[in-house]
Amino acid sequence: MQLSPSIIKLNHNNRISILLKPVLLVIGLFLFALSASAQEETEIVTYFAETQVGESFNFNERTIRFKEVVVDSRCPSDVTCVRAGEAKILVEIFKDERSLGKEVITLGANMNSFKTSLAKFFEEDLNIEVLSLSPYPTTSKKIKASDYRLKMKVTKRMEN
């Protein structure tokens, strides 16, 4: 019995395919293990704080001091406004008790959490968010400076 060349070529391709499947499987498993181990090496540390005017939020030899509410033009909760308004707060940033500078953070009234530009002061991979500024204004009560509370969250990525 004589084989035609097309049958021989098909058999040759089958052998290559049979050999490549395990190799590709091993490479795939290696890449998966490599990506899984890279993910395990990153630790995320989160700090939460609630401060009032004049108080500081300390984390890992760093400090954010809530200096003052510069402007609070948020629309009172018992009024319908055309414009939602905003609040501006002044914070001072410290590292090892040395002032790195001050920053005004603007908070819009319709957002739940606010990314800030404060991470630039710390030379690290930090994500700093203002979670809330309370109390929220109403028409029936004037807010005293000492009544304000600032909630913040700092997330730090630590490579192992």
How many Å apart are CA 71 and CA 91, to the nearest integer? 13
Quote the pLDDT of residue 69: 95
| pLDDT bucket at 61, cuts 50 / 70 / 90 | confident
Tell me what the mean pLDDT of segment 98-109 comes to. Answer: 85
DSSP string across 59-104: ETTEEEEEEEEEEE-PPPTTS--SS--EEEEEEEEEETTEEEEEEE
> With contact defined as beta carbons under 8 Å apart, do 105 and 114 qualify?
yes
| pLDDT bucket at 66, cuts 50 / 70 / 90 | very high
Residue 8 has pLDDT above 50, yes or no: no
Among 20-29, 62-71, 111-120, 127-136, the least confident range: 111-120
Strand partners, 132: 151
Is the entire prediction scored with pTM above 0.85? no
Q: Spell out a b/e string for 20-42, using b for 16 or more CB atoms within 10 Å of the CB, else e.
A: eeeeeeeeeeeeeeeeeeeeeee
Listed by start position, the domains of the chain span 1-40, 42-159
DSSP-based three-state secondary structure for 32: helix
